[in-house]
Structure 1
Amino acid sequence: MWNGISQQLGDALGREFTIIEKRRISGGDIHQAFVIADEHARVFVKINDKPRLALFEQEALALTRLAQSREIRVPEVLHYGTTAEHAFLALEYLELESASASQWYEFGQQLARLHRSQTQAEYGFDDDNFIGTTEQPNRWQRNWAQFFAEQRIGWQLKLAEEKGFQLGDLNRWVDACASALQGHQPKASLLHGDLWRGNLGFCQGEPVLFDPASYYGDRETDLAMSELFSRFPGDFYKGYDAEWPLDPGYVRRRPIYQLYHLLNHLNLFGGSYLQQCQQQLQEQFCGQ
């Protein structure tokens, strides 16, 4: 496997890449992660089974789109491909470090500039992609309420039902979600799509984003995810608001947007999230 990776990486870089160092590192729940190096540079490599290549293709596409914005740093995509039995993604290696309050503030500003400057006329993305290993549909739509109700909440509910989780009348919840968001037609901003602490860091004083699940949608969904599991430091939100203040209605929409990620965790990790999803559906949509 490693011979194949080094050869392909060398072809992509335009020079020979002979691995002189290789170590496995913590890389999340989905992929194996390694740092490899030749005499010139270190490279971060994700590895999975060969049929998982589509995950790496879509991750590379989203990272490239984020990089093109020039608003916030992401690791450079060096190459992705397959060996006899594995798929892999090779990225620029970044040494991450702790951040100061001012750096979190700057991160908030940069994210707001990304959201404001990178927009589309419709909601969606060029291709369907993935959030974790869950397929994420991105068919272009003009109506935000319908897009989020059908392609986010409805899709996750359908997957949960197929896995045997009892969440009630799916059509009722989809209609209630569309009703709750009706009239909210925000800019279709380029999103990270899975913005929690595990998918960001700081390198040489700069904020860095990675592991995106990007699409064009309501910027508030990124902010909602940032508050779901382990809220970012307050300076991040101060920086964001200084650059592009949030609408007061965000507080009402936030739990609806967080529900998407709770349902995805239910589908990825199982029943420990079932009660929370049931409760959130009742609280947000009961009586709609």
Structure 2
Amino acid sequence: MERFIRETLEKVNDTSTVHSIQPVSGGDINQSFYVETDRRPYFIKVNEKVASHFFQAEAEGLRLIKETEAVRVPDVYHYDIPDGDEKAALVMEWIEKGTSDASHSFGKSLAHMHQHTSEKYGYGKPTFVGELNQTNEWCTAWTDYYRRYRLGGQLDIGVTKGSISGLREERLIKLMDRVDEFIPQKPKASLLHGDLWGGNWMTTSEGEPVLIDPSVLYGDHAFELAFTELFGGFPPNFLDQYHTYFELPENYQDTKPIYQLFYLLVHLNIFGEMYGSQVDRILKHYVG
């Protein structure tokens, strides 16, 4: 691995002395390393046998978020586009984590990011949600995108894996047919991080919030906020501050479960039946 990392550093024209290569814990998809050279410290992710766009999708998502100037993301110095089973790397800025609570300022920053919009919904390129490939296309209606590429995408994966079948499959198809009844057809198409759980944001040593590991799309900002309430990691003052700058629709509590359903389907398809009861409960709530 050390040799591969040194070869990767050459791709960013850093041939200076390497002082430290240390594994970094926290992710379950990639191997991650803190690498320090004479020039600077780096955060480097390494994987192998991945799709050619695996790191490219993350890098381009970080670029889009950075361009909003609403919230900080790590700078990207290089990403590999692998061809085959060879190792690939993503080289980024190392950001020192802090211990202060930046949830208040993060709520404001995320609200400003969500006010950067597109005329259409979705995203014109495939991304990843967790380790699953996320097919995307542009749609003129949010309901069409959410039906086809979010719920429909996880349905296809779940049928293949065997995690979605029988009554669960029937209910999900029924919900997809009726999705227009439950979510807005044409909300503001906000730039969304797309995988915003508590582990995908951090605070710097200066108390500044930072977004990491995006899976970007343009869609209803309520979709993003619903996920922040699913697995925790966001104190109450985060949402309070967010609402100060970008209000959620009055029916947010009604749409929240159907938006959380997508992420529960993802977890069902990755981790298994431990998420099945939550999926079934939401499906039953909407379609009986």
Q: Same fold (TM over 0.5)?
A: yes
1:239 maps to 241
- Deviation, structure 1 residue 73: 0.2
TM-score, normalised with respect to structure 2: 0.92
SS in 2 for 1:119: coil
- 1:17 deviates by 3.8
Instruction: Check conservation: 1:177, 1:285, Cα contact below 8 A.
Output: no
Q: Which residue of 2 aligns with 1:259?
A: 261
Map of 2:31 onto structure 1: 32
Q: Take 2:283 and 2:201, find their aligned partners in 1: how far apart are those partners?
A: 29
Kept in 2: contact 1:53–1:88 (CA 8 A):
no
Please tell me whether the aligned partners of residues 175 and 286 of structure 2 are also in contact (alpha carbons under 8 angstroms).
no
CA distance in 2, matches of 1:85, 1:128: 21
Q: Please name the residue that 2:92 is paired with.
A: 91
**Maintained 8 Å contact 1:74/1:209:** yes
The aligned residue for residue 3 of structure 2 is 3
Shift in Å, 1:141: 0.4
Task: From 205, 208, 212, give the equivalent of 1:206.
Answer: 208
Pair 52,17 (structure 1): closer, same or farther in 2 beyond 3 Å: farther
- Cα distance in 2 for partners of 1:244, 1:2 equals 46
Whether the 8 Å contact between 2:143 and 2:179 is mirrored in structure 1 is yes
RMSD of aligned alpha carbons: 1.8
Q: Structure 1 residue aligned with 2:179, among 158, 170, 177? A: 177
Q: 1:282 Cα deviation (Å)?
A: 0.9
How much has 1:234 moved relative to structure 2? 1.1
For residue 45 of structure 1, what is the aligned residue in structure 2? 44
Q: Any stretches of 5+ residues in structure 2 without a counterpart?
A: none
Corresponding residue number in structure 1 for 2:107: 108
Contact 2:8 2:89 in 1 (8 A): no
5+ long unaligned stretches in structure 1: none
Taking only the aligned residue pairs, the percentage that are identical comes to 36
CA-CA distance at 1:36 after TM superposition: 0.8
1:77 counterpart = 2:89: no
- Shift, 1:53, TM fit: 4.3
> Which whole-Å CA distance do the structure 1 matches of 2:198 and 2:20 have between them?
28
| Cα displacement (A) at 1:154 | 1.6
Quick one: which amino acid aligns to residue 224 of structure 1? Answer: A
Instruction: Give 2:151's aligned amino acid.
Output: I
Question: One-letter code of the match for 2:266?
Answer: N
TM-score by length of 1: 0.92
**Aligned residue for 2:169?**
168
Q: Is 1:190 aligned to residue 188 of structure 2?
A: no
C-alpha distance after superposition, 1:160-213 (max 9, x if no partner): 1111122232432211223322x4421111100011111000012110000111
